[in-house]
Amino acid sequence: MEATMTGDPLPKLPATAWAVLGLLSFPGERSGYDLKKWADASLRFFYWSPALSQIYSELKRLEQLGFAVSRIASQDELRNKRLYRITDSGQEALATWARETPAGPPVLKHGVALRVWLGHLSEPEELRKTLVEHRDYAASTLVEVRASEDSAQDRWPFPALVLKWSERYWQAERDLADGMLADLEDLYRKQGGEAAG
């Protein structure tokens, strides 16, 4: 059953529902598992990737609202696969949400920065280790972003733009960690030479 959106106010949905509907807005049908793989290959680099259980919960909600429909596709003798697609009213609702709902400022909750902020309670080696691990994580994520960016380039121009932004973000995150390590060493030198590491 497909709902009619024209003139109706948008339902109050969590951001995860809009993200899942956004994943469905690209051509084709997808299973919940397919949506999870796609979220892991793109969405997680700039927003977050919902758990598979969250995706299925949101798909159920979106179907109840008439924003998505599903069908069972026979996969093999052992199991069937449920495939989802966005409806016209879902496409309209998503477009309205994207156009009219304020994005709001990004929320920065940086666990590494919080650890450094509390550096007076840590040993120098612990802080160094935290920053090195974060730098290495940012560098490996950067490699993954570039791989996703290469595969999206021709088929999905707007996701490719966001992946380019994600590439710059993770490159900056890596460089910020290197900068913080250098700043930490300077601080320790000024405090009495604890940092000869």
Q: What percentage of the chain reaches a pLDDT higher than 90?
A: 78
- Average pLDDT score over the chain: 91
Residue 1 has pLDDT above 50, yes or no: no
d(CA 48, CA 149): 17
Rounded to the nearest 5°, which phi and psi values hold at 174? -60, -45
What is the DSSP secondary-structure string of 130-143? HHHHHHHHHHHHHH
What's the rounded mean pLDDT across residues 8-34? 94
Residue 4 has pLDDT above 70, yes or no: no
Share of the chain above pLDDT 70, in %: 92
Gap between the Cα atoms of 81 and 75, Å rounded: 6
Class of domain 15-100: mainly alpha
- Side-chain-side CA neighbours of 108 within 13 Å: the count stands at 6
Model pLDDT, residue 193:
62
- What pLDDT shows up at residue 37? 95
Q: How big is the CA angle at 18 (ends 83 and 143), to the nearest 5 degrees?
A: 80
Query: What is the pLDDT, as a whole number, of residue 194?
Result: 53
pLDDT of residue 78: 65
The per-residue pLDDT for range 182-196, each reduced to its tens digit, is 999 999 999 986 554
Average pLDDT over residues 107-134: 96
Tell me the per-residue pLDDT of 48-86, one tens digit each, with 9 for 90 and over.
899 999 999 999 999 999 999 999 988 766 678 999 999
Q: For residue 113, what pLDDT is reported?
A: 96
Which of the four pLDDT bands, split at 50, 70 and 90, describes residue 156?
A: confident
Grade residue 7 by pLDDT with cuts at 50, 70 and 90. Answer: low
- Would the CA dihedral through 61, 62, 64, 65 be positive or negative? positive
Cβ–Cβ < 8 Å for 83, 71: yes
Question: What pLDDT does residue 18 have?
Answer: 97
Residue 163 has pLDDT above 60, yes or no: yes
Q: What is the pLDDT of residue 74?
A: 80
Q: Is the pLDDT of residue 19 over 70?
A: yes
Sequence-distant (6+) residues with CB within 8 A of 2 are 66, 69, 87, 88, 89
